Amino acid sequence: MPFVRIDALRTDPGRLDALGRAVHDALVETIGIPPDDRFQVLVGHDGIGSTLRYDDYLGVHRDSGIVYVAITLRSGRTPDQKRSLYRRIAELAQVYAGTEPRNVFVTLTENESVDWSLGHGTAQYSLSPETAGSPLADPPPHGPAAPFG
């Protein structure tokens, strides 16, 4: 169950949607996230009231087409899976939204099952014996030990 935040500079709702689809499709393809597991915050910055800052770093020249993608997910992916994810996000961002791969900045933050509450104030991925029988503590469809998210 990844949580995705995408911030883009001077963009319209159509481009934001395309970027959201690019990230989601890459997550499904590269690390096996279920297709209906989409939780995203898509934010467009106008460059006046809110903006994004960027520089050229590590030989990558960025411009006003910059897109920041922050993904929070449960730990357990290999370095190769992460590299595949980054590559696929950049590819699909170009195909779906016309964003140059050099302008796609991705960061992953990993955490543990107990760090998630999907509603009802319950840590559905990490049910304790006390909460397992609670009517508000139904396990997720893939089970508490599922590798998703």
- Please list the active-site residues: 2
Angle 13-31/79-97 helices, nearest 10 degrees?
Answer: 150
- Distance from C-alpha of 97 to C-alpha of 9, rounded to nearest angstrom: 13
- Distance from C-alpha of 12 to C-alpha of 46, rounded to nearest angstrom: 10
Residue 130 CB contacts under 8 Å (≥ 6 apart), including other chains: none
- If you ran DSSP here, which 8-state letter would residue 106 be given? E
- If you ran DSSP here, which 8-state letter would residue 60 be given? B
In the sheet that 104-111 helps form, which strands lie side by side, from edge to edge? 40-45, 3-9, 67-74, 104-111
B/e letters for 19-41, b = 16+ CB within 10 Å, e = fewer, are bbbbbbbbbbebbebeeebbebe
